[in-house]
């Protein structure tokens, strides 16, 4: 899983500025409450204080575009579904005792998951075409603050599975700590550097032989 490398973009510029005062508050039958937007902005601020507060109109514009681009046969639009899988990964990471998530990241994951579980007043989860849109926006806002930790965790799971396999064990029964991951990653990178040097050396040796034969 490539964290944050989504195939389907979310039509919302978190760093952009809102132009005009259109003040639209509806996406189909769903009305966007300013107080609910305030709660979303408070949560986003806990994840990344550099992101400007969103306006109801920005969320409406995003939601209408998502509905326009979505397929009727899908329960969730793909741009939302991809980010919802990232939320599931956050939850798995937070519960993985062997990983020992860093304190700041643990707090941010707790903030994000708490919003998803407790707040449904902005956009109902079962709203056709836009359910969980605010959750997807929340994930998008955590790119700078949480994605580096998630990327490390994905690599940790890859190496844990590899190391467990080398010992003939299932990763479920294999004790593999964050420190073990750091050691394995360094060993893997050293091996890659070694093979690169060997390949370069072999290439240069072959080049010398060819040059000698030519002359």
Domain borders along the chain are 26-145, 177-214
Above 80 in pLDDT, residue 75? no
Above 70 in pLDDT, residue 105? yes
Q: What is the band of 120 on the pLDDT scale with cuts at 50, 70, 90?
A: confident
What is the tens place of the pLDDT at every residue in 128-139?
889 899 999 999
3-state secondary structure of 26: strand
Above 70 in pLDDT, residue 42? yes
What is the tens place of the pLDDT at every residue in 138-154?
999 999 999 999 999 99
Lowest mean pLDDT among 67-81, 90-104, 198-212: 198-212
Angle at 72 between CA 69 and CA 78, to 5 degrees: 55
Query: CA of 178: how far to CAs of 95, 108, 148, 160, 164, in Å?
Result: 14, 19, 15, 10, 14
Instruction: Give the pLDDT score at 207.
Output: 44
* Cα–Cα dist 89/146, whole Å: 11
């Amino acid at each position: 899983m490539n964290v944050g490398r989504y195939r389907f973009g979310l039509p919302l510029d978190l760093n952009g500025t809102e132009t005009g005062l259109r003040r639209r508050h509806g996406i189909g039958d769903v009305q966007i409450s300013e107080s609910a937007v305030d709660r979303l902005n408070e949560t986003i601020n806990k994840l990344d204080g550099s992101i400007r507060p969103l306006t109801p109109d920005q969320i409406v514009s995003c939601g209408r575009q998502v509905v326009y681009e979505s397929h009727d046969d899908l329960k969730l639009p793909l741009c939302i579904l991809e980010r919802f899988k990232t939320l599931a990964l956050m939850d798995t990471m937070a519960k993985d005792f062997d990983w020992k998530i860093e304190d700041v990241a643990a707090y941010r994951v707790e903030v994000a998951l708490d919003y998803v579980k407790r707040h449904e007043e902005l956009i109902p989860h079962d709203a056709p075409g836009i359910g969980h849109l605010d959750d997807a926006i929340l994930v998008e806002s955590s790119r700078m603050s949480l994605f580096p930790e998630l990327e490390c965790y994905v690599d940790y799971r890859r190496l844990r599975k590899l190391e467990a396999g080398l010992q003939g064990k299932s990763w479920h029964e294999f004790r593999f700590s964050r420190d073990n991951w750091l050691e394995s990653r360094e060993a893997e990178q050293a091996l890659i550097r070694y093979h690169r040097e060997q390949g370069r050396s072999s290439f240069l040796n072959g080049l010398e032989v060819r040059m000698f034969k030519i002359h």
